[in-house]
Structure 1
Amino acid sequence: MKLEPAKSIEKGDSSNTTLITFNGHSGTHIDAPNHFCGRALTVSETLKPENIIEGAVCIDIPKTGDRPVIPEDIKPYIHEIKDTEALFIRTGSGDIRDADPDTYATVHPWIHPDVPDYLREICPELRFFGLDAISVSVPSFRQEGRECHRNFLCKSPEIMLIEDLNLSSPELLEQSWRLRFYPVIFDRIDGVPVLVFAEFYE
């Protein structure tokens, strides 16, 4: 993200204003199908200004380094995730986000390309998938990462990706919860930062 002065009182302008420039996939963000599927659906065509999903589920699949999450890792959780529209995987990668941002961004767990179709089979209502890594793709397995993105976003039904999440709260694993998320910019674009909240049921 870049912050540049657009106007400056010190330079004779009547006010201070700042130009903010950032990538649509900065920080916690959502990937719309258009990100990898050509002229596919965009953010404003797939989301609402406020998005509320009941019964979101987070599961714990610890991974280190650039090891992938594979279907066999998810299989033990079939019964608790089978009806969800939103599934999140905590790998533990988020634990180093602030302490070691370079490793977090380049050597992190990723999602194997076989996972999207497996999830469609066992979770027919699934529409959102997220994890606590910067992406479902990692630089050391770039081609597999592209394939994974396409398998999530370009097949029917589309499963949109929410990446770079904070899933550190133990409560996320203890129950299902209400997912709320809000696109920072609501337009016909391929991806956008989102504000994401977990609301726990009483």
Structure 2
Amino acid sequence: MGKIGIYGSSFDPITNVHLWTASTVAHRCKLDKVIFLPCSSKRKDKTMKTSDAHRWEMLQLAISNNHTFLADDHEILQEAWEVYTYYTMEHFKQKYPNDEVYFIMGADLLVDIAEGKWKYDDELISNNKFIVMARDEINMVKTISRSPILRNHDDGTKFHLIDKGLSMEISSTYIRDEFSKGGEPRYLLPNACYEYIKKHELYSS
């Protein structure tokens, strides 16, 4: 049995922090694979700055030299009303029935679940395992203990909390802003992605 982490984001664009985070999580949690899952541009709660095709191509360029990393376009191909994390995790558990599948997320998303902001939250929490990364000085243990939906499903193996050394906050938004305002974010993302963005004039104002 292997261990697989599902790492979803807009990846608009993918950054070196995304890659470093995935590599660190894989190392600490002994994951055999990390699946990068770009979210659908059809989602009502997301506004993409580039097309699915461009985001997918940059993701492929970014992870091409790491055998632990895979990309999957499952959510990109879904209709908007089918894109919920609970459905996504059911898909990957069926796709990898002999492996343990974890959902990788930041502590900010844990807070959102605790506050009832996610659809099918009870089904999601009761049927899955999570790797939660520290973010914005959020106290993850208190977040779990204060939320009935989180604490009542916490059997000691439900949440793998990574609390140290994963708080770098260089974001895709920051990189997009740098490109649009004439900045120089070259070393904040893979060089192949930097060159791709320059070639296709992405994120320019």
TM-score (norm 2): 0.29
TM-score (norm 1): 0.29
Higher strand share: 1
